Each structure stands twice: as C-alpha cells, then as structure tokens.
Amino acid sequence: MPHLPESIRAFALTQRGHGDASRHVTGYSPHEFSMDLAAFMDALGIEAAVIVGGSSGGIIARCFAIEHPNRTLGLIIAGSPLTLKDKPDVLALWDTTISTVKDPIDPSFVSEFVKSTLAQEVPQAFLQTMIKENLKVPARVWKATLKGLLEDKSSEKLNKINAPTLIVWGDKDEITPRSDQRARWLVPK
C-alpha cells in the first residue's frame, strides 16, 4: 500500500480469525468473509469500491462482486485459483495436515507453509512478520477457512460478475499458473 498514489483511499482488512482480528466460533467461508467486507464498508459509509484480493482473498473478492454487484466498481484478482478442489497439493495439505492440526500450531509447519507461498526471497523481517501473523491463527480457524475455500461454489457464478475485472498471476505460481487462469477465467489467449 505504500506504493499507491496518495489520491487512492485504500484499506487492507484482516479477516476474522486471522492476525489480531476477533476469533468467532464459526463463519469462515468466503461468503461470510464477503459479508464482513460489506459490513466494514457500511461502517465507514463506503457505498462502492474497487475490490482487490490475492490468493484466497481473490475468492472472497469475487464472492463480494457476485453478492454485491452494485457495490463493486471493479475487481482485481491476484494469484487466485478458480477453485481449490482440483489442486492436488492443496487437497494433500488438507488430508495430511490441516484437517488434523491442533493448538498450539507448530511453528515449523507455519514457517514451511509461508515459505511455500513465495516464489522468491523476501526480506527476513517481512518473512518473520508473515510467520508471526500466521502463528496467531488457531487450529479451528485454519480448518474452517480451508474447508470453506474447498467447499466454495462461487466459481459456478462467475457470469454474475459485472464489474471490470483484472486478473493477475505470477509466472512462478505453482497453484494458479497462467494456463489455469486462461482456462478457468475464460481470458482470451
């Protein structure tokens, strides 16, 4: 956000259960995160905005665009899959780790998880901040969030997105490569 022009009013939300946000017992599906975004906008009196989401946040952003078309001026999706149901690595992560994770969360798991999301080296201080923030997430939130993402069906409603949409991905993204984005989002070749 420090790289955005001062003319842009931008907010970066922490999803419930993550970082220092409240940890509700339930409510970790993309739909529920989308409802939180709408409530945040209501609280600040924001009628409509350009909605940006990266990775799983892209799924939440598109849910918002589907559920709140009049409040979505534009949509930016960065490195976000159409679905996680067809991603063998994500399904293996669920089967071998997330579905059985317990508190306290193992720091070595979190460190490896965070590093697996990076395509290149990042400053050590930034990496440690990412690890520290992910360690705040309790086991039940890890489980509920990934379960909600795996069960999400918003990909079946993409035709309801009316806002101008920009799709961005990295050429080293192993979960959402360019070919996946083209085929799944129907981007012209």
Domain boundaries, the chain: 1-83+152-189
**Is it the case that residue 101 has pLDDT exceeding 80?**
yes
The whole-angstrom separation of Cα 33 and Cα 115 is 25
For the chain, give the percent of residues with pLDDT over 70: 93
Higher per-residue confidence, 66 vs 189: 66
Beta bridge partners of 72: 49
Helix (H) or strand (E) holding 78: strand 72-78
Task: Indicate the SS3 state at residue 163.
Answer: coil
Average pLDDT over residues 31-54: 98
The whole-angstrom separation of Cα 167 and Cα 24 is 31
Average pLDDT over residues 82-101: 92
Higher per-residue confidence, 180 vs 125: 125
Task: Indicate the SS3 state at residue 53.
Answer: strand
- Give the CATH fold of the 1-83+152-189 domain: Rossmann fold (3.40.50)
- pLDDT-derived band at 189, boundaries 50, 70, 90: very low
**Is it the case that residue 86 has pLDDT exceeding 50?**
yes
- pLDDT-derived band at 170, boundaries 50, 70, 90: confident
